[in-house]
Amino acid sequence: MLRYIARRVLVAIPLLLIVGFCVFILLDLAPGDAASRVAGENATPEEIIQVRERLGLNDNVIVRYGEWLGNAVQGDLGRSLTTPQDVTDAIWSRLPITGSLALIAITITLVVAIPLGVLAALRPNSLLDRGVSAIAALSMALPPFVIGLILVLLFAVKWAWLPATGYIPFTESPSEWLKHLILPALALAAIPTAELARQLRGSLVDALGNDYVRTARAKGMKERTVVFKHALKNAAIPVITVFGLQVGRLLAGSVTIEFIFVLPGFGRLAYDAVVSRDVPMIQGVVIVSAIIVITVNLLVDISYGFLNPRLRQR
């Protein structure tokens, strides 16, 4: 297993290099100019040229990538062009907020999707099953920002139960922390919950049709044991694969959700960096998000071994 993990980590290195390079190329091709932002709104064209020169933005994209890479491998992701922050500090200050949001969204996903998926699988084609399928389809059809706006209008504006915007750190007030994150987490969790419930329902229906389930039932095993100990464990592998993919989706979804709910998280940092052409910050955000996705995928792969002993022996 350790060799497997080491191999995966080594494979991730060229991937990160490619990601970083692609970002440089894309930013180079995209319209807009970081120098304009840094020079200020009253800058003359000459001043913008001077700023561009000072920031090294006239250098070849390969040269700039090389310089960035040289610093990045030493742990220095650079300094923001538009705010007085080191990129690493900015990311570290924002990750706990998005992490909190993702944590609650994942909790909601698991708490809602697993029972619904199991219940629907136990009574296939029943009213419950069809109801779950319909709600899941609706959830997947609605973009998170639409769900978010509906939640705000109902729970924050109409009934004033929860705040519409902002963030309070957990250390300051756990209850306020939860109150500020519950609506964005619900919006963010809608699609993963729907996909996970449908995936679990499908996998479990398949698993429950297998011979070993029939044998277990014939041996007089309790239905709870059959479902939760045998069928669910075997149905879990594709579910975990889907779940792992949802983490990446949560990260991408946080851009819009954090914008709507005015959360100063990792997604907002990404948005702000892009609109202000803050190249070092964009690079840092992309690399960190790539590392997160790669790490989650690795954890998912490792979890297969725990769920299926045969994989452990390979």
Partner 1 sequence: MRNRGRAAIALLVSLSFIAAACGDDDDDSSAGTEAGATTPAATDAPAATDAPADSVATTDGGTATTEGATADTGATTPDDGSVPAGTEVDCDLPYEDGDPDANVDFITSVPPRQFDPHISTSIIGEYAYIAAVYDRLIEQRKGPVLCPMIAESWEFNDDGTELTLHLDPDAVFWDGSPIDAEAVKANLTRAQTLETSTVKSFLNMVTAINVVDPQTVTLVANRPAADLPSTLSTLVGSMINPKAFTDGTDLATTPAGSGAYEIQDWVVNDNVTFVRKDDYWRPESAGKAKTLHYVGIPDDLNKLNAFRSGEADISFFKAASYGDFSDYAESTEGVSIAQYPQGATYQIFLNTDRPGLDNQQVRQALNYAIDRDAINEELLYGQCPPTSQMLQGIYPGHLPELDDYYNYDPEKAQQLLDEAGFSDGFSFEIGAGAGLTPQALFGPVIQAQLAPLGIDVTVTEGDLLDINSRWAAGELDAYAQTRLGAADAGVVLRDNYTKGSRFPGTPPQEVTDAINATLDPTVTGDDRTALLEAANTLITEQALDLFICGTSATFIHTDDVLNADIMGQADYQGIFDMRYVTMSGS
Q: Given phi > 0 = left and psi -120 to 50 = alpha, else beta, which region is 277?
A: left
275's tokens:
């609109």
Residues 88-107 touching partner 1, rule: CB under 8 A, are 90, 93
Q: Pick from 57, 164, 190, 204: which binds partner 1 (CB under 8 A)?
A: 164
> Residues with Cβ < 8 Å from 288, sequence gap 6 or more?
91, 95, 266
Least spacing, CB of residue 154 vs partner 1, in Å: 11
Do 195 and 136 form a contact (C-beta atoms < 8 A)? Answer: yes
What sections of the chain are H helices per DSSP?
Answer: 2-29, 34-39, 45-54, 61-72, 87-122, 127-141, 144-151, 174-208, 211-218, 223-225, 232-260, 266-275, 279-307, 309-312
Q: Which C-beta is closer to partner 1: that of 132 or that of 167?
A: 167
Q: Is 251 in the site for partner 1 (CB under 8 A)?
A: yes
Q: Is 13 in the site for partner 1 (CB under 8 A)?
A: no
Least spacing, CB of residue 121 vs partner 1, in Å: 25
Q: Is 6 in the site for partner 1 (CB under 8 A)?
A: no
Q: Pick from 84, 127, 211, 220: which binds partner 1 (CB under 8 A)?
A: 84
Q: Which C-beta is closer to partner 1: that of 54 or that of 123?
A: 54
Q: Which C-beta is closer to partner 1: that of 4 or that of 133?
A: 4
Q: Pick from 8, 124, 179, 206: which binds partner 1 (CB under 8 A)?
A: 8
Q: Is 181 in the site for partner 1 (CB under 8 A)?
A: no
Q: Is 129 in the site for partner 1 (CB under 8 A)?
A: no
Query: Please, is 174 exposed, middle or buried when counting C-beta atoms within 10 Å of its C-beta (0-12, 13-18, 19+)?
Result: exposed
Q: How far apart are CA 249 and CA 242, in angstroms?
A: 11
Q: Pick from 61, 69, 83, 202: which binds partner 1 (CB under 8 A)?
A: 83
From 118-126, 206-214, 288-296, 305-313, give the range in contact with partner 1 by CB under 8 A: 288-296
Least spacing, CB of residue 153 vs partner 1, in Å: 8
Residues that contact partner 1, how many (by CB under 8 A): 74
Q: Is 30 in the site for partner 1 (CB under 8 A)?
A: yes
* DSSP-assigned letters across all residues of 163-225: -SS----TTT-HHHHHHHHHHHHHHHHHHHHHHHHHHHHHHHHHHHTSHHHHHHHHTT--HHH
Q: Pick from 2, 45, 74, 313: which binds partner 1 (CB under 8 A)?
A: 45
Least spacing, CB of residue 212 vs partner 1, in Å: 25
Q: How far apart are CA 44 and CA 63, in angstroms?
A: 27
130's tokens:
């069809």
Q: Is 294 in the site for partner 1 (CB under 8 A)?
A: yes
Q: Pick from 27, 77, 87, 181: which binds partner 1 (CB under 8 A)?
A: 27
The single-letter code of the amino acid at 165 is T
Do 67 and 20 form a contact (C-beta atoms < 8 A)? Answer: no
From 32-40, 121-129, 131-139, 197-205, give the range in contact with partner 1 by CB under 8 A: 32-40
Do 258 and 184 form a contact (C-beta atoms < 8 A)? Answer: yes
